Amino acid sequence: MLIKIPALLSKNEVAHCRSILEAANWVDGKVTAGYQSARNKNNIQLEENSEASQQLGDIILSALANNNLFMSAALPLKIFPPLFNCYQGGHSFGVHVDNAIRQVKGTAVKVRTDLSMTLFFSEPDEYDGGELIIEDTYGTQSVKLAAGDMILYPSTSLHRVTPVTRGRRLASFFWLQSMVASDEKRSLLYDMDMSIQNLSQGNEDHPAIIQLTGVYHNLLRQWAQT
């Protein structure tokens, strides 16, 4: 299940974040790659525990906590602190699958990567290439979103970033552990939640809506891990 989260950050928030990114120090992106993916990874990124990363991460996490679409689709339990990368001058990232477990640097906290996220800071017309290519259940998807938009997709998916041949592609990438590990079950809950919300418009007290909401929560109670 691929879910687009439109306008997670406002244009003013994007501009503020970009000013921080453009003034920050960058390092080789291989520092957070596993053995296999390091062979295919060619980009630069902010250091994980840098002041800039922490400041930007707080902005993103605050926005996620207040985004109903994200909360419904992801059912987050733990979120890995956002990382930030830049592709330019031919940078690319070959086909890979994200590591199953990520440890938060400097802590004992481990996050199972159920869902991967990419939040875009550059507008699509600012760079050529740089598409996020995801091999989804329903075929290959090409993702290149407006600044402030985010894509949410299963971490089990094969994916890559095509070479950036003009301009700069600035983005944040990170992962989360969901309360519901199964993508299939999580998708069912998401579809049910969206249906309940649509049916509830003007009919929130209808007995069928109340019953369906109860079914949703009973399924979540059965499937959730906390």
Q: Is 102 annotated among the ligand-binding residues?
A: no
Question: Which contacts qualify for 51-57: CB closer than 8 Å, 24 or more apart?
Answer: 52/20, 52/21, 52/23, 52/24, 52/25, 52/84, 53/81, 53/82, 53/83, 53/84, 54/81, 55/20, 56/17, 56/20, 56/21, 56/82, 56/84, 56/172, 57/81, 57/82
Residue with tokens 């031919």: 90
Q: Is 98 annotated among the ligand-binding residues?
A: yes
Query: Do 186 and 178 form a contact (C-beta atoms < 8 A)?
Result: yes
Cα(29)–Cα(94) distance, rounded to whole angstroms?
A: 13
DSSP 139-151: EEEEE-PPTT-EE
Backbone φ, ψ for residue 64 (5° rounding): -65, -40
Cβ contacts of 62 within 8 Å, gap of 6 or more: none
Q: Is 91 annotated among the ligand-binding residues?
A: no
CA nearest neighbour of 167 among 81, 96, 91, 64:
91
Cα(143)–Cα(140) distance, rounded to whole angstroms?
A: 10
Cα angle: 226, vertex 191, 136; to 5 degrees: 90
Q: Is 96 annotated among the ligand-binding residues?
A: yes
Residue ranges of the binding site: 96, 98, 159, 169
Residue ranges of the binding site for 2-oxoglutarate: 169
Residue ranges of the binding site for Fe cation: 96, 98, 159
